[in-house]
Chain A
Amino acid sequence: MLYDRYASLVYSIALKALRSVSEAEDLTQEVFMILARWQSASEGGPRAYDPQRGSLAKYLTTLTRSRAIDRLRSRTTYRKYLDRWSHTQTAMDLATPLSDATKQERRALVVAALSTLKSKQREVLELSYYEGRSQKEISEQLGVPLGTVKSWARRGLLQLREKLRDQLGDEPQ
């Protein structure tokens, strides 16, 4: 069942980003309502998608994150980051990034990959990914030069990708 399968993924991301149980629950509801409308609107139609689990997880992840950041943005401003994301998202397909690893295997792989990052690299990536914070904000928050934050984030991401290379799908054509 979709809700049971994905509620935890959606809620975990929401909670990580919003750091509030009630807001995270609220967002979980919002996301599943969107999914329901979307699914309903695309049933049998040209937009009907192949509900491979990986691709649905990806859809939900993206949706939850961007909605979470929307909510954070309504608290302060993260416009540039969002612009970047709304831009890159249009280029994304719904292909599954993961082959057929089970949920637990997948978790273990990603946890292991993240554990190879330096703690600062990871922290910067998380602040940026889940909370949509700009590197300038992060640099102020952590009291380190902007260039350092930039370098941590970029190298962290490159490292993460190296470790997960086997898990990633094919490049788009």
Chain B
Amino acid sequence: MSEQNDPLPNDPRQPQTPTEDLSEALRELAAGYVLGDLASEEAEQFHQLMSQNPALKAEVHSLQQALELMPYALPEENPRHEVRSKILQAVQAEINSATLAPVGEIAPPNRKLQADSPTPFSSSPVGKLLRKKLTWLIGGIAIGYAAALGFNALKTARLGPSLATTSTPTRQATQIDQVWLGFHDLSQDHNNALREIDGPVDFTVQSVSEIPDQVKYFPVTLATLPVLPESKGKLLGGSNCKLGKTAGLRLSYQVDMPLDTSSKASSESPSTSQETSQIVSVYQLEPNEEQFPGFYDSYITSRQPDGTTIVLWREERYVYALVADLPLPELSSLAQSITPI
């Protein structure tokens, strides 16, 4: 970072920004514009100028950015501790009184998750049909809320003791917390797997057809395995896992991310493409209604406070999930590429 010693605005500076060429008068006008102190005709004229002068536009942008950095200089004040729990209560109150309208955020698996269809899913025939089934989804939405706010510690504090006893808050709240715990378990299991010294997998296979024999805790058939197409990722192997009380199979995939610096790495050379690849954990879980309520025909997405992303869905007998550190749209598109073999 270079030191800038001379603050005079009209001093010629390093030529890397186009704002250097502007006259001082124009720059003051730009500052006035950002500060909102121009008279309306002035502002209009300035707008006109800006539309013709990219340097001026850049100047305005840079001044806006500088202004927005001001709060970082504020003395650091923290809200009282109660504020945190008040927010959670407010979130739950909202959930309890929520309508089902937000169901539109959950797309059925046969639809593109990213599709920006203006038709709310909840008003489609399928949506209506699913409504009753999906009452719990309010809880699913709570995942988004909770994840957004990162109420990890709070939940542990609240739930730790109460789970062990028979204390029952409202049913809704219990469900929400359990849903949350499911997601939390998934992200933890994924991250623990990544930290394993011996790598994320317990067994390796030559072909996916060998997987069912390796699965310990519950029976799976080849047809139900969540297998990514070879073009999407390389199967590193699998592990038997337990997420709370839920038994599961975790398949670890190496997925190459198209970074601009590298051509698509060959799937045969995982070691040379480390920086461009990601481990994606693909889970097949035995449904545990308490932990993962029934959410047929929907993908649920969640971004955990640590950045881990999860896409979860249910088909027939199993719950499936993808967990990785990828943007949700990419993870969602991987989820959609999983087909029964």
Contact = CB atoms under 8 A, between A and B. Distances in A.
Interface of A: 1-5, 7-9, 11-13, 15-16, 21, 24-25, 28-29, 32-33, 35-37, 39-41, 43-46, 48, 50-51, 58, 61-62, 65, 80-81, 83-85, 88, 92, 97-98, 106-107, 109-111, 113-114, 116, 125-126, 128-129, 135, 150, 153-155, 157-169, 171-172
Contacts of B105: 40-41, 43-45
Nearest to A132: B36
B78 interface: yes
Contacts of B9: 155, 158-159, 162
Q: Is the interface of A mostly helix, strand, loop or mixed?
A: helix
A44 B32 contact: no
A150 B37 contact: yes
A171 B61 contact: yes
Interface residues of B, number: 73
B302 A97 contact: no
A61 B301 contact: no
B77 A8 contact: yes
Contacts of A114: 70, 73
B116 A12 contact: no
B223 interface: no
Interface in B1-32: 1-2, 4, 7, 9, 17-18, 27-28, 31-32
Given A3-B151, A50-B327, A155-B28, A167 B35 contact: no
A1 B153 contact: yes
A36 to B, nearest CB: 4
B132 interface: no
A154 B35 contact: yes
Nearest to B40: A80
A97 B35 contact: no
Interface string B147-181: 11111110000000000000000000000000000
Contacts of A65: 71
Contacts of B2: 166
B102 A40 contact: yes
9 contacts: A1-B151, A25-B83, A43-B144, A51-B307, A97-B69, A106-B69, A154-B35, A161-B63, A165-B4
Give the one of A8, A25, A88, A154 with max B CB within 10 A. A154
Contact of A158 (B27, B148, B328): B27
Given A2-B148, A12-B75, A129-B70, A43 B303 contact: yes
A171 B57 contact: yes
Given A1-B153, A12-B77, A40-B145, 6 more contacts: A2-B150, A4-B153, A25-B83, A37-B145, A48-B327, A172-B57
Nearest to A165: B4
A1 B305 contact: yes
Contacts of A128: 35-36
Contacts of A24: 77, 79
B302 A48 contact: no
Given A162-B9, A169-B65, A36 B70 contact: no
Contact of A135 (B37, B57, B58, B79): B37
B216 interface: no
B107 interface: yes
B68 interface: yes
A162 B62 CA distance: 10
Contact of B148 (A40, A157, A163): A40
B68 A58 contact: yes
B90 interface: yes
B79 A43 contact: no
A51 B61 contact: no
B258 interface: no
Contacts of B311: 44
Contacts of A153: 31-32, 35, 37
